[in-house]
Structure 1
Amino acid sequence: MCSSCSLHHRRRDLNDRGRAMAPGQYSMDAKQHTMSPVVTGATVIGMKYKDGVILAADTLASYGNEARYKDVCRLKKIGDHTLLGAGGEISDFQYLGDLLDEMADEEACDARSVLVPAPPFPLQDQAPHLMYVDHQGTAFEEDFVATGFGMHLGIPLLRNNWKPDMSLDEAKALATKCLEVCFYRDCKAYCKIQIGVCAGAGVEIGPPTPINHFWGHTAWTENRLEDGDSTGTW
């Protein structure tokens, strides 16, 4: 095989296996997609209630499996009538929040004159909407959603207890219960949560609030294996 053919096949093999091209040519792929999350957030609970939508999340950002940052807000206000919550890589959430802020500014300035800006992201048919978008871009609308471990532990509670005509206090209590259950069983959950409310009056994100937890349950403290009982517990 001639040297030119050998070089051609070698380049093609490199492109097929690793796309080893000029430095920086494919660098945007690494910046746009977080393949190995480092600092992550856990469960976010979202649900509609009779007057709007609420989102709830704990304030922990884990560095791997280490509970590293314990005062991180994973809820963000976008415009006057949009509330964003995110689990997973925190840097992706921050980047997405910046992009949405830019979009809100552009919409406000482009819809009308600069002197009289229009409200960004107006309400659709004046009704609350709760949307879920996964890491692959799949989007859908639902009455209640959850991310992370909450998809396994929170969704069953929401299915059994959610009602379309729930009051705000009932919705907050249910969201808190879901995060409490996740805290008991998810090593990346935390005992301090924030609840955001998006309603006709606007968006409000509450302060970090501790949740009640109790670790003295008999099933968690007694060692049953010594009595010949092979039943496992938490």
Structure 2
Amino acid sequence: MNFMASKQPENSLLGPESDSQRTLYPYVTGTSVVALKYKDGILMAADMGGSYGSTLRYKSVERMKPIGKHSLLGASGEISDFQEILRYLDELILYDNMWDDGNSLGPKEVHNYLTRVMYNRRNKFNPLWNSLVLGGVKNGQKYLGTVSMIGVNFEDNHVATGFGNHLARPILRQEWHENLSFEDGVRLLEKCMRVLLYRDRSAVNKLQIAKITEDGVTISQPYSLKTYWEFSAFENPAQGAIGSW
């Protein structure tokens, strides 16, 4: 599935760049990515929805990809721009492998590269419309960071993009701890994704969870969460509201 960016209007006054294709406004977008450190590595979760405006047009969009030997990337935002970032990273990893010096790029180096790319494009007023999560393990060291479409970046024990930054991170702050087992980490991510499904109109109940350890990346098959929609607030959300019917 290839999502083409919107085409810049032609104007002879703009020179050769007038025929280039770039994203002027995000069209097909993905919603939140949530990730955390656990005892053995990094866990990351994302649903598979692709929204065309406010319409959930695509429901099988994979938004988590392994990068090299040590890293895992997840993305929110414009899908075509995410595909462009993956092309950049393919070139970066290929160039690194060509040195054949026994070393390979770790997650910290890939994250630094992404922050430079995003900030560079922002300075050209031609941003890549994504928020990215980059996690990985190298030499026993766990790494987890995020970068926004304008280059704002940080590292933390747990990160989230989009609505997840508002709705999931309070849960993570309360329940995350350093010695989370794989099973507890998955349960915590599923709890966050369930809250996002209830509250984020762009979320779909079809998700993947990925893990990365020293042994490499494993991305689960898509599956659905068990949900409960009989809460009174769901049945009558306007009850008790001022001016409601």
What's the CA shift for 1:80?
A: 1.7
Question: Structure 1, residues 84-116: CA drift from partner, whole Å, max 9, x if none?
Answer: 00000011111111211221111111143xxxx
User: CA, structure 1 residues 231+206, in 2 after alignment: closer, same or farther (shift >3 Å)?
Assistant: farther
| Partner of residue 105, structure 2 | 121
Partners of 2:207 and 2:63 lie apart in 1 by: 10
| Partner of residue 207, structure 1 | 221
| Partner of residue 3, structure 1 | none
User: CA, structure 1 residues 222+207, in 2 after alignment: closer, same or farther (shift >3 Å)?
Assistant: same
Question: Is 1:59 aligned to residue 48 of structure 2?
Answer: yes
> What is the DSSP-based 3-state SS (H/G/I as helix, E as strand, rest coil) of the residue aligned with 2:66?
strand
Question: Is 1:132 aligned to residue 146 of structure 2?
Answer: yes
Matches within 5 A, 1:116-195: 118=102, 120-122=104-106, 124-195=138-209
Count, aligned residues = 204
Partners of 1:210 and 1:119 lie apart in 2 by: 39
> Cα RMSD between the aligned structures?
2.3
Preserved CA contact (<8 Å) 1:198 1:204: yes
Preserved CA contact (<8 Å) 1:56 1:193: yes
| Partner of residue 9, structure 1 | none
Partners of 1:36 and 1:86 lie apart in 2 by: 17
Partners of 1:57 and 1:20 lie apart in 2 by: 42
The sequence identity of aligned pairs, in percent, is 37
Letter in 2 for 1:202: G
> What is the DSSP-based 3-state SS (H/G/I as helix, E as strand, rest coil) of the residue aligned with 1:40?
strand
Displaced runs of 4+ in structure 1, greater than 6 A?
A: none
Q: TM-score, normalised by structure 2?
A: 0.76
Preserved CA contact (<8 Å) 2:205 2:224: yes
What's the CA shift for 1:154?
A: 0.4
List alignment gaps of at least 5 residues for structure 2. Answer: 1-10, 107-136
Question: Is 1:23 aligned to residue 19 of structure 2?
Answer: no
Letter in 1 for 2:226: N
| Partner of residue 78, structure 2 | 89
> What is the DSSP-based 3-state SS (H/G/I as helix, E as strand, rest coil) of the residue aligned with 1:128?
strand
Q: TM-score, normalised by structure 1?
A: 0.80
Partners of 1:111 and 1:130 lie apart in 2 by: 26
Letter in 2 for 1:121: L
User: CA, structure 1 residues 57+232, in 2 after alignment: closer, same or farther (shift >3 Å)?
Assistant: farther
List alignment gaps of at least 5 residues for structure 1. Answer: 1-18, 113-117
User: CA, structure 1 residues 201+185, in 2 after alignment: closer, same or farther (shift >3 Å)?
Assistant: same
Question: Is 1:41 aligned to residue 41 of structure 2?
Answer: no
User: CA, structure 1 residues 22+192, in 2 after alignment: closer, same or farther (shift >3 Å)?
Assistant: closer
> What is the DSSP-based 3-state SS (H/G/I as helix, E as strand, rest coil) of the residue aligned with 2:143?
coil
User: CA, structure 1 residues 110+232, in 2 after alignment: closer, same or farther (shift >3 Å)?
Assistant: farther
